[in-house]
Amino acid sequence: MGLQAYLLLAAAVFAIGLFGVLTRRNAVGILLGIELMLNAVNINLVAFSRFNGDLAGMVFALFTIAITVAEVAVGLAIVIVIFRVRKTVEADRLDLLKG
Amino acid sequence: MTLALTALALPFLAFVLQALVPPLRRSGRGAAAVSIVCVGGSLAAAARLWLAPLGAPLVRRWEWIPADGGPLVTVGIYLDPTAQAMLVLVTLVAFLVQLYSLSYLREEPAPALGRYYTYQSLFAFSMLGLVLAPNFVEMFIFWELVGLCSYLLIGFWYERPAAARAAVKAFWTTRLGDVGFVIGIVLLWRATGTFDFEALFGLAEAGRLPAGLALTMFLIYLGAVGKSAQFPLHVWLPDAMEGPTPVSALIHAATMVAAGVFMVTRAFPLFAVVPEVLTIMAWVGAFTALLAATMACVENDIKRVLAYSTVSQLGYMMAAAGAAAPSAAFFHLLTHGVFKALLFLAAGAAIHAVGSSDIRQMGRLFGALPQTGIVFLIGTLALSGVWPFAGFFSKEAVLSAVWDGHLVGPFLMLALTALLTAAYMFRVVFVAFFGADRAGGHPHDAPPLMAIPLWVLGFLTVAIGVRVAVAGGETHHPRGWLTALSLGLAGAGIAVAFVTYQWRVISPAALARALRPFDWMARRRYGIDGAYAGIYRGIILGFAWLIGWIDRYVVDGLLNALSAGTLSAGDLLRRIQNGRAQDYVYGVACGLLALLVASQIWR
Amino acid sequence: MTLETAGFWGLAAVLLAGSLAVVLTKNLFHSVLYLAGALVATGGVFLLLDAAFLFGIQLLLYAGGVVTIVVFAIMLTERLVGERIRQTSRRLANGAIVSAAVFVGILMAVGQARLPTERPPLAGDVTRGLGEALLTRSVLSFELLAVLLVAALLGALYFARNDD
Say if residue C102 is in the same domain as residue C128: no
Distance between terminal CA atoms of chain B?
84
How high is the pLDDT of residue C159? 79
CA B505 to chain centre: 39
- In sequence order, the β-bridge partners of residue B74 are B63
Strands B58-65 and B73-79 turn out to be antiparallel
Rounded Cα distance between B285 and B268, Å, is 16
* d(C-alpha B229, C-alpha B232), whole Å: 8
| Residue B338: per-residue pLDDT | 84
pLDDT, position C79:
61
Residues of B in contact with C105 (CB under 8 A): 592-593, 596-597
CA distances from B528 to B172, B394, B533 (A): 16, 30, 9
Residue B180 has pLDDT above 60, yes or no: yes
Higher pLDDT, B299 or C152: C152
Residue A9, pLDDT score: 92
**Rounded to 5 degrees, what angle do the CA atoms B27, B30, B31 make?**
85
Residue with the bigger pLDDT between B170 and B482: it is B170
Q: Range with the lowest mean pLDDT among B45-49, B114-118, B146-150, B517-521?
A: B517-521
Enumerate the residues of chain B whose CB falls inside 8 A of the CB of residue C106: 596
Are C116 and A3 in contact (CB < 8 Å)? yes
As a whole number of Å, the end-to-end CA separation of chain C is: 63
Of C94, C99, C105, the CB nearest to B596: C105
Number of domains in chain C: 2
Question: Is residue B79 within a helix (H) or strand (E), and if so which, with residue range?
Answer: strand B73-79
Contacts of C39 in chain A (CB under 8 A): 35, 39
Domain contains C115:
no
Segment C75-99 mean pLDDT: 71
Q: Which residues of B touch A98 (CB under 8 A)?
A: 577-580
Whether B585 contacts chain C with CB within 8 A: no
Q: What is the pLDDT of residues C102-153, one digit of tens each?
A: 899 888 888 888 888 888 887 788 888 888 888 888 899 899 999 998 998 8
Average pLDDT, chain B: 80
Closest CA to B332 of B356, B304, B301, B309: B309
B286 three-state secondary structure: helix
Asked if the Cβ–Cβ distance from C106 to B596 is below 8 Å, we say yes
C37: Cα within 13 Å, side-chain hemisphere: 18
Residue C104 shares a structural domain with residue C129: no
Q: Is B582's Cβ below 8 Å from some Cβ in A?
A: yes
Is position C155 within any domain? yes
CA distances for B596 relative to A3, A7, A18, C105, angstroms: 20, 16, 16, 6
Identify the band that residue C15 occupies on the pLDDT scale cut at 50, 70 and 90: very high
Percent of chain B with pLDDT over 70: 88
B603 lies within 8 A of chain C by CB: yes
Nearest CB neighbour to B589, from listed C102, C108, C112: C102
If asked whether residues C83 and C7 sit together in one domain, one would say: yes
Whether B445 has a pLDDT exceeding 70, the answer reads: no
pLDDT of residue B352: 78
Chain B interface includes A91 (CB < 8 A): yes
Residue of A nearest to C75 (CA): A80
Compute the distance between CA of residue B349 and CA of residue B372 in angstroms, rounded to an integer: 7
The rounded distance, in Å, linking the Cα atoms of B36 and A60 is: 96
Task: Domain of residue C163: give its range.
Answer: 124-164
What is the ipTM score, two decimals? 0.86
Q: Which of B583, B592, B602 best probes binding to C when mutated, by most C CB atoms within 10 angstroms?
A: B592
Q: Let me know: does A29 contact C28? Beta carbons within 8 Å.
A: yes
Residue B581 with chain A: CB contacts under 8 Å: 30, 91, 94
Provide the chain C residues 48-107 that lie in CB contact (below 8 A) with chain B: 94, 98-99, 101-102, 105-106
Say yes or no: C150 contacts chain B, CB-CB below 8 A.
Answer: no
Burial B129-142 (b: 16+ CB within 10 A, else e): bbbbbbbbbbbbeb
Q: Which of A21, A96, A97 sits opposite B582 (nearest CB)?
A: A21
What pLDDT score was predicted for residue A40? 93
Tell me the torsion sign for CA atoms B263, B266, B268, B269.
Answer: negative
- Which of A6, A16, A45 is the best residue to mutate to test the C interface, defined by the most C CB atoms within 10 Å of its own CB? A16
In order of B327, B341, B347, B500, B558, the CA distances from B460 in angstroms are 20, 11, 18, 31, 70
* Residue C145, in any domain of the structure: yes
Mean pLDDT within B431-453? 69
Q: What distance in Å separates residue A33's CA from the closest CA in chain B?
A: 12
Q: Report the number of secondary-structure helices (H) and strands (E) in chain C.
A: 7, 0
| Domain of residue C49, CATH code | 1.20.120.1200
Size of interface B-C (CB pairs under 8 A): 22
Ramachandran region of residue B441, left (φ > 0), alpha (ψ -120 to 50) or beta?
left
Tell me, what's the pLDDT at A41?
A: 93
Q: B505 pLDDT band (50/70/90 cuts)?
A: low
Mean pLDDT check: name the lowest of B78-92, B530-544, C62-76.
B530-544
What amino acid is encoded at B405 in this protein? G
Tell me, what's the pLDDT at B452?
81
Picking from A17, A55, A84, the nearest residue to C80 by CB comes out as A84
Q: Residue B498 CA to chain centroid, in angstroms?
A: 32
If you measure CA to CA, which chain B residue comes closest to A24?
B582
Count Cβ–Cβ pairs < 8 Å, chain A vs chain C: 237
On whether residue C40 sits in a domain, the answer given is: yes
For B601, name the nearest residue in chain C, comparing CA atoms only: C109
**Of C94, C98, C108, which has the smallest distance from its Cβ to B600's Cβ?**
C108
| Same-domain check for residues C38 and C76 | yes
- Hey, which chains touch A, using 3+ CB pairs under 8 Å? B, C
Q: What's the number of CA atoms in the CB half-sphere (13 Å) around residue B311?
A: 30
Give pLDDT tens digits for B339-367: 888 888 888 888 877 777 777 777 666 67
Residue of higher predicted confidence among B481 and A16: A16
Asked whether the beta carbons of B327 and B264 are under 8 A apart, the reply is no
A21 interface with B at CB cutoff 8 Å: yes
CA distance B555 to chain A (A): 32
Model pLDDT, residue B12? 87
Q: Residue B153's closest CA among B224, B251, B223? A: B251
Q: Which pLDDT score is estimated for B86?
A: 85
Cβ <8 Å between C105 and B592: yes
Q: Is the pLDDT of residue B516 over 80?
A: no
**C12 and C93: one domain?**
yes
pLDDT band at B565; cut points 50, 70, 90: very high
Chain B contact for A30 (CB, 8 A cutoff): yes
Q: Measured between CA atoms, how close is B578 to chain A, in angstroms?
A: 4
Q: Does C97 lie in the same domain as C62? A: yes
Lowest mean pLDDT among B3-7, B313-317, B351-355, B521-525: B521-525
First CA to last CA distance, chain A: 49
Q: Dihedral through CA B16, CA B19, CA B20, CA B26, nearest 10? A: 130
* Amino acid of residue B550: I
**pLDDT beyond 60 at C83:** no
Q: What residues contact B223, with CB distance under 8 A and at least 6 apart? A: B143, B177, B178, B180, B181, B182, B184, B260, B263
Mean pLDDT of B245-260: 79
- Least confident range from A5-9, B64-68, B99-103: namely B64-68
CA distance B576 to chain C (A): 17
How much is the average pLDDT of C16-38? 88
Q: A90 pairs with which residues across the strands?
A: A26
Residue C117 counted as domain residue: no
> CATH number for the A3-93 domain, one of 1.10.287.3510, 3.40.50.2300, 1.10.3720.10, 2.60.40.1890?
1.10.287.3510
Mean pLDDT of chain C: 84
Confirm if B359 and B306 have CB atoms less than 8 A apart.
Answer: no
Q: Could A21 and B578 be called an inter-chain contact, meaning their C-beta atoms sit closer than 8 Å? A: no
Nearest 5°: phi and psi at B65?
-105, 105
- What distance in Å separates residue B557's CA from the closest CA in chain A? 29
Neighbours of chain C (3+ CB pairs under 8 A): A, B
User: How far does CA B402 lie from the centroid of its chain?
Assistant: 23
Ramachandran class of B207: left when φ > 0, alpha when ψ lies in -120 to 50, beta otherwise: left
> CB within 8 A of B279, min separation 6: which ones?
B322, B407
pLDDT at B497 over 70: yes
CB contact under 8 A, C98 and B593: yes
* Shortest CA gap A24–chain B (Å): 9
Return the closest-CA partner of residue B379 out of B416, B414, B418, B347. B347
Nearest-neighbour CA in chain C from A98: distance (Å)? 20
Please name every residue paired with B62 in a beta bridge, in sequence order, or none if there are none: B75
Judged by average pLDDT, the poorest of B100-114, B272-286, C44-58 is B100-114
C-chain residues near B599 (CB < 8 A): 109
Q: Does A1 touch chain B (CB under 8 A)?
A: no
Q: Is the dihedral of CA B257, B259, B263, B265 positive or negative?
A: positive
CA C52 to centroid of chain Cα atoms: 16
SS (H, E, C) B459-515: HHHHHHHHHHHHHCCCCCCCCHHHHHHHHHHHHHHHHHHHHHHHCCCCCHHHHHHHC
For residues C98 and B82, give the distance between their C-alpha atoms in angstroms, rounded to a whole number: 97
- CB distance B449 to B106 below 8 Å: no
Q: What percentage of residues in chain A have a pLDDT greater than 90?
A: 31
Across A1-15, B513-527, B578-592, least confident range: B513-527
Option in A42, A62, A70 nearest C152 (CB): A70
Question: Which residue, among B584, B585, B593, would best test binding to C if mutated, counting the most C CBs under 10 Å from its CB?
Answer: B593
Identify which of A22, A49, A89 has the shortest CB distance to residue C94.
A22
pLDDT of residue B471: 67
Q: Using a CB–CB cutoff of 8 Å, tell me whether B558 touches chain C.
A: no
List chains touching B (3+ CB pairs under 8 A): A, C
Q: Tell me what the mean pLDDT of segment B171-182 comes to.
A: 86
pTM of the entire predicted model: 0.62
The pLDDT score that the predictor gives to residue B448 is: 75
Cβ of residue B592 closer than 8 Å to a chain C Cβ: yes
Cis before B232 (ω within 30): yes
Question: Residue B110: is it exposed, middle or buried by C-beta count within 10 angstroms (0-12/13-18/19+)?
Answer: middle
The DSSP line for B142-166 is: HHHHHHHHHHHHHTTTTTSHHHHHH
Residues of C with CB below 8 A from A24's CB?
Answer: 23, 87, 89
A16-31 pLDDT per residue, tens: 999 998 888 888 888 8
Burial of B365 (0-12, 13-18, 19+ CB in 10 A): buried
Query: Does residue C52 belong to any structural domain of this protein?
Result: yes
Asked if A74 and C155 count as a contact pair (C-beta separation under 8 A), the reply is: yes
Q: B569: distance to nearest CA of chain C, Å?
A: 27
> Same structural domain for residues C27 and C1?
yes
Prior bond of B388 cis (ω within 30°)? yes
Closest Cα in chain A to B571: A99
pLDDT at B544: 84
User: Is C14 within a domain?
Assistant: yes
Distance from CA of B585 to the nearest CA of A (A): 7
Of the partner residues A18, A21, A95, the one whose CB lies closest to the CB of residue B580: A95
Residue C106 to residue A8: CA distance in whole angstroms: 8
| B532: Cβ contacts below 8 Å, ≥ 6 apart | B235
Query: Looking at beta carbons, which residues of chain B come within 8 Å of A96?
Result: 579
Option in C94, C102, C112 nearest B593 (CB) = C102
**Residues B475 and B328: beta-carbon distance below 8 Å:** yes
Query: What CA–CA distances, in Å, run from C85 to A36, A73, B176?
Result: 21, 20, 91
